[in-house]
Amino acid sequence: MEELMLAAVVVRQDEKAYGLSEVNLLGPWVEGEGETMRRYQIIYVNRDDKLAEYREDLGLASEFDAILFRVPSFWEHTVGELKDIALELRNRPPSFTHGIIPHQGEEHKKEFWKRYTDLKEAREKEGRIT
């Protein structure tokens, strides 16, 4: 039987980490808003000699132009160092995403996420994604 990954409730800036990821995931259900795509920073740390996952909600995914990324560390870097690297990666000018994620203002972002949601719903109806 598979074991579930432990959750880390807090992390220290000076503790060693296995890696960091920034990904877009569906956030929790919010009354009046429903589920929204959120940007999460996930840091893997050691808890009782097992990998544990610490998640930090960074906000709405539509507010980020940066691509999703992973920063491996293999216990070489601290949480603080990985967060600094992530901040630098997140603040770089967009590269290949320039034509994918709109940069022309709020209306274009809304249209982008509407098209994304419509496509996702169509694929779900076709049984292509769950």
Domain boundaries, the chain: 6-92, 103-130
Handedness of CA 120, 125, 126, 127 (dihedral sign): positive
pTM above 0.75, yes or no: no
Q: Are 84 and 40 in contact (CB under 8 A)?
A: no
The 10s digit of each residue's pLDDT in 60-112 is 999 998 889 999 999 999 999 999 999 999 988 765 555 554 455 667 667 77
Q: β-strands 6-7, 50-60: how paired? A: parallel
Please tell me which residue, 8 or 119, carries the higher pLDDT value: 8
What digits encode the pLDDT tens for the residues 27-37?
A: 988 888 788 89
Task: Give percent above pLDDT 90 in the chain.
Answer: 52
**3-class SS at 53?**
strand
Residues 27-48, mean pLDDT to the nearest whole number: 91
> Does the pLDDT at position 12 exceed 70?
yes
Give the E-state strand segments of the chain in sequence order: 6-7, 16-26, 37-47, 50-60, 69-78
Contact call for residues 23 and 43 (beta carbons, < 8 A): no
Are the C-beta atoms of 122 and 57 separated by less than 8 Å?
Answer: no
pLDDT of residue 96: 54
Give the chain's mean pLDDT: 85
CA distance 66 to 111: 18
